Amino acid sequence: MSDTEISRRLGISAHTVRDHLKKAFDKTGTNSRGRLLRLL
């Protein structure tokens, strides 16, 4: 899903979605959703 779709579903802003993704990328040493998914 896109950031906008996720934000609508969760009732948060797209900016908040991007912030959470950035934190997940930093913690896992990844830099894309695809790599994050492969890691998980």
- Structural tokens at position 14: 């797209």
Q: What is the per-residue pLDDT across 3-20, written as a single tens digit (0 to 9) for each?
A: 999 999 999 999 999 999
Q: What percent of the chain has pLDDT over 70?
A: 100
Judge whether 40 lies within some domain.
no
Element (H, E) at 8: helix 3-10
**What pLDDT, on the 0 to 100 scale, is given for residue 38?**
95
Q: What percent of the chain has pLDDT over 90?
A: 98
| Phi, psi angles (nearest 5°) of residue 8 | -65, -45
User: Would you say residue 37 lies in a domain?
Assistant: no
Q: 38 lies in a domain?
A: no
Any domain includes 35: no
pTM of the entire predicted model: 0.81
Q: Which residue range is the domain that position 20 belongs to?
A: 3-30
Q: How many domains does the chain have?
A: 1
User: What's the rounded mean pLDDT across residues 17-38?
Assistant: 96
